[in-house]
Amino acid sequence: MTDYQSGREALGERLRELRTEAGLQGKELAERLGWQRSKVSRLENGKQTATAADLEAWALALDAPAAVPDLHSRLRGLESQQRSWRRQLATGHRAVQDRYVAEYRRTATIRGYEATVIPGLFQTPDYARHVLILNAELMQSPRDTDEAVNARMRRQEVLYEGDKTFRVLVWEGALHAHVGPPEVMAGQMDRLIGLIGLPQIELGIVPFGARLRLTPKHGFWVFDEERVVVETINTEFTLESSEDVALYGRVWERLDESAVYGQQARRLIGRARASLDLG
């Protein structure tokens, strides 16, 4: 599954959502548009790439013209493996979260590393809200915070699907980066502790004092050993060459050599929680 296909499926899910919100069956919408029923099905299932005209017609047929900018933004996001955050967030953060939902649903094994923030898969709603607000302020993007938080929480449903494995490393510094008030951070630390021990999740913490074979580096995610997603401040990159995937795999393995798991990880998370001024 390529990043492009995941984005196309996420767009299809949004189209289906608009149709069901309007109370129409696929056949009824096809009749309104003058299309074959099969076209509606292909678009909703990510089997066909919509044109800008298709998306506008779809929204107008459902009496939802306000959805057109968001749909066009999602379509533009399919165009390149190097995706500007400014373009992706032109209509808010929800579209990006929806695309990740589709990506995770199609992935069996995920290896990730984050150095500055708690991974989105593990965030509490309150922590996610503060992160998304800070990002929206930085990028000067529309505030669709409630929808984006809900989409991020839907993304976490994959954590409890038994056919997936999540091997995630977090630099200890991310535990001490206070993106929200103390009570929000305390709830986030409790959430991390609760994830340790789940059979499908391997959560490792790379401690401050660990002997490292390389410096902490930026965050990245490896999907099924086929592609790597790297986020910078202004751009999201998808890397699919075997050389790039192997390189990031080696980086992850070297960081993993310095990571602690289980009770040792709990202690580090607990130490971060104890440092909070909860009054």
Q: Give the per-residue pLDDT at 64.
A: 93
- pLDDT tens digits, 39-62: 999 999 988 888 889 999 999 999
Assign 98 a pLDDT band (cuts: 50, 70, 90): low
* Average pLDDT, rounded, for the chain: 87
User: What is the average pLDDT across 96-106?
Assistant: 70
Asked which of 8-22, 25-39, 125-139, 236-250 is least confident by mean pLDDT, the reply is: 236-250
Instruction: Please determine, for residue 2, whether its predicted confidence score (pLDDT) is greater than 60.
Output: no
Q: Give the per-residue pLDDT at 186.
A: 97
| R_g over Cα of the chain | 20
Q: Give the per-residue pLDDT at 4.
A: 67
Instruction: Please determine, for residue 92, whether its predicted confidence score (pLDDT) is greater than 70.
Output: no
User: What is the average pLDDT across 17-41?
Assistant: 94
Model pTM score: 0.69
Tell me which of 153 and 24 has the higher pLDDT. Answer: 24
